[in-house]
Amino acid sequence: MNVTLKDLIGLTKELPEKYFEEIFEKLKEIKEKAEAEEEADSKIKRCPHCGSDSVVRNGKRNNRQAYMCRNCNKTFVETTGSVIANSHGSETVWRQVIRDTVEGVSLDDTADSLDLHHATVFNMRHKILTCLESEMLASPVVLDGVCELDETYVLESEKGRKFPENYHRKPRKRGGKASKRGLSDEQICIQTAATGDGKFIARTVNRAAPTKEEIVQVFGNRITEDTTIICDGNSSYDVFSDKCVVAHVEHPNKVNGFHSFKKERIRKMRGISTIYQNRYNALFAEIYGNLENAVDKIYRLITSCADLFLDIQTVKSQNLCTV
């Protein structure tokens, strides 16, 4: 049974008034202990402004431990320069948003459990997703050794947006079907790859079946002479035959399992807006086969990404998928 912060507040309100002070003191004790442990475990070693390791503690700012650099005399907190810089949300709140994002919980359910506004949770979730995509682009997975390449398709979606006028199709309800049979411009192609050591790539750059040029755009810089490509009967992947070995099989099992995972999560979320498809692709590639450690790993990432401060306007405009 999962007990949320909102549930605890509700239970507290039902208790007799004489217990309020005792509960308050106990919660205060737990909070002070948690803050002390957080300070003891702090990994701040270098100033994010000048890189010096000559830093000392300097009081608190917004309930976070502050530091001062003796080299440049600038102050900072543990999250300065990270994705969650200036956030009012505690570590507990951010971890809950990450956990719900990983598990495919709806924004409204997360907002309700944390007693936050829908827009606040949306911005927090997309800061997390944008950080994951930025990390994926900055450190691309190299397709070394035996790798599986394939593509899968999801319905184009305008979820959460006003439907454009004079669009190439009519609006449909969530969970609906394409108006055209087979592959068409209503289908968004997700090009995927799986390496032998369990790393995954998912990237959208086109509609319907990918051309050789689009396949090269996604995978070209990741291929080496030591790569062996396993793919299905799509002859477009032979574009790499001059650079490495390309073998065709009937069912590339590892990458097909990744496809099933992506589609199951998309169904659970009742579709993903196409403009955010690549952000979710980065999430799926990160968590597939690693669900147990995903929350801790993503939290470390969003609190350690230097020079990746994301304001709301950046979240709404950076690296949108336009196909």
**Average of per-residue pLDDT across 159-182:** 78
Q: Does 150 lie in the same domain as 51?
A: no
Q: How many separate domains does the chain show?
A: 3
**Average of per-residue pLDDT across 62-67:** 77
DSSP string, 218-276: HHGGGB-TT-EEEE-S-GGGGGGTTTSEEEE-S--HHHHHHHHHHHHHHHHTT---GGG
Q: Which domain, by its residues, includes 54?
A: 42-78
**Average of per-residue pLDDT across 53-67:** 81
Residue 3 has pLDDT above 60, yes or no: no
Rg of the chain in Å (alpha carbons) = 23
Q: Does 213 lie in the same domain as 271?
A: yes
Taking only the tens place, the pLDDT of each residue in 286-302 is 999 888 889 999 998 88
Tokens linked to 271: 């579709």
Predicted confidence at residue 146, as pLDDT, reads 93
Q: Which string of b and e fits 66-96 if b means at least 16 CB within 10 Å?
A: ebbbeeeeebbbbbbebbbbebebeeebbeb
CB 277 within 8 A of CB 52: no
Taking only the tens place, the pLDDT of each residue in 40-55 is 445 556 787 787 888 8
Least-confidence region, from 13-22, 71-80, 199-208: 13-22
Q: Does 186 lie in the same domain as 248?
A: yes
Q: Does 57 lie in the same domain as 26?
A: no
Q: Does 272 lie in the same domain as 157?
A: yes
Q: Does 146 lie in the same domain as 248?
A: yes
**Average of per-residue pLDDT across 109-117:** 93
110 membership: H or E segment, kind and range: helix 107-114
**Average of per-residue pLDDT across 101-124:** 92
Whether 124 is in a domain gets the answer no
Q: Does 34 lie in the same domain as 57?
A: no
Nearest to 222 by CA among 202, 236, 247: 202
